[in-house]
């Protein structure tokens, strides 16, 4: 098994879980780590929110041993707030601090943070320097291809971030204007890898073992990051991990899929109040059923779950439906 090092942090060279706001919470990270994700990153944490002692923001900083190696991901556009936030994060003992310079959503990029920083390389570099100066762990940066098709600057931007002190660069092969549509550009990841000496993490359109292997081979990246393909599918990490460990991967059967769905919900319930955990679990339940017989008709039932017992009943009902429709 090969490993990469982001400074002193050793990470299995298989595939890592992407940071996804509203999806990759603590329960999601633990689950996917157990299935083989080699590295996890927190949901987006507002640097200003931390500095102003926002309790909800502070909750995002907590890390359990089961998630490690794990980074705390900050966003913000002011170096002084980033520096203060990094100091606050240190009490939660992250393995890495990740700075988000790739988030495309309006409430982040529209305020000058996230992908908007790719329009101001000098400001972005000053943010990295401010974080590196006060951090006792590696500082990494997540970027995109560029702001739009007329402003593709990932290579020069990545070089500037390395010069400012970044210990690794994650590159999503889409522009900010593409959001999550269209095709991810592996060529830009390849070019970034050629031009920096720190580890490069490739992200975008990795939905299978084959995609993962292709990303490694084509771009030469040091690690692969997977996001939306993990929805209801933590087995993607197991398949990749099994491949690199020389094991035979066995796809999950019906019972395994449904029990994993319930286990995921139990993880959420152990971390959050039931009404919040159940509300957030609705989308996950729907994702676990995707592609199976009758899934579309059950999706509405997933979105009306109000308790764990409801989920158990739905699981049994769905299992019976599948068994009734197994080809004779």
Q: Which residues are catalytic?
A: 103
SS3 94: coil
Calpha distance 44→74 (Å, rounded): 6
Calpha distance 52→62 (Å, rounded): 17
User: Measured between alpha carbons, how far apart are the two ends of the chain, in Å?
Assistant: 43
Contact 118, 146 (CB under 8 A): yes
Peptide bond into 85 cis (omega under 30): no
Peptide bond into 69 cis (omega under 30): yes
SS3 per-residue string spanning 133-160: HHCCCCEEEEEEEEEECCEECHHHHHHH
- Select from 92, 101, 83, 119 the least CA-distant residue to 168: 101
- Select from 162, 159, 182, 163 the least CA-distant residue to 172: 182
Contact 22, 43 (CB under 8 A): yes
H or E element, residue 172: strand 168-175
Kindly report the backbone phi and psi dihedral angles of residue 235, in degrees, each rounded to the nearest multiple of 5, phi listed first.
Answer: -65, -15
**Residues near 193 by beta carbon (within 8 Å), at least 6 away in sequence:** 200, 219, 220, 221, 222
* Helix (H), strand (E) counts: the chain: 14, 11
Calpha distance 152→178 (Å, rounded): 12
């Amino acid at each position: 098994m090969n490993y990469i090092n982001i400074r002193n942090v050793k990470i299995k060279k298989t595939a890592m879980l992407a940071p996804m706001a509203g999806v990759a919470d603590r329960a999601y990270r633990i689950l996917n780590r157990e299935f083989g994700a080699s590295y996890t990153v927190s949901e987006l944490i507002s640097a200003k929110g931390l500095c102003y002692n926002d309790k909800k923001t502070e909750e995002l900083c907590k890390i359990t041993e089961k998630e490690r190696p794990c980074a705390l991901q900050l966003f913000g556009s002011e170096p002084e707030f980033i520096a203060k936030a990094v100091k606050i994060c240190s009490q939660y003992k992250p393995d890495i601090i990740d700075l988000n310079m790739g988030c495309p959503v309006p409430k982040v990029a529209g305020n000058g943070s996230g992908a908007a920083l790719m329009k101001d390389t000098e400001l972005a570099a000053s943010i990295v320097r401010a974080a590196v100066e006060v951090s006792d762990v590696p500082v990494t940066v997540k970027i995109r291809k560029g702001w739009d098709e007329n402003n593709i600057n990932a290579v020069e931007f990545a070089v500037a971030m390395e010069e400012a002190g970044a210990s690794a660069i994650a590159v999503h092969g889409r522009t900010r204007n593409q959001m999550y549509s269209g095709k991810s550009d592996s060529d830009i990841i390849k070019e970034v890898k050629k031009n920096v000496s720190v580890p490069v993490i490739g992200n975008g359109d990795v939905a299978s073992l084959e995609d993962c292997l292709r990303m490694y081979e084509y771009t030469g990246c040091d690690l692969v990051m997977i996001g939306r393909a993990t929805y209801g599918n933590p087995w993607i990490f197991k398949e990749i991990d099994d491949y690199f460990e020389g094991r035979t991967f066995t796809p999950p059967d019906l019972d395994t899929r449904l029990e994993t769905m319930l286990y995921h919900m139990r993880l959420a319930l152990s971390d959050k109040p039931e009404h919040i955990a159940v509300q957030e679990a609705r989308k996950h339940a729907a994702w676990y059923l995707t592609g199976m017989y009758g899934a579309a008709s059950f999706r509405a039932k997933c979105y009306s779950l109000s308790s764990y017992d409801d989920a158990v009943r739905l699981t049994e009902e769905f299992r019976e439906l599948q068994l009734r429709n197994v080809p004779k």
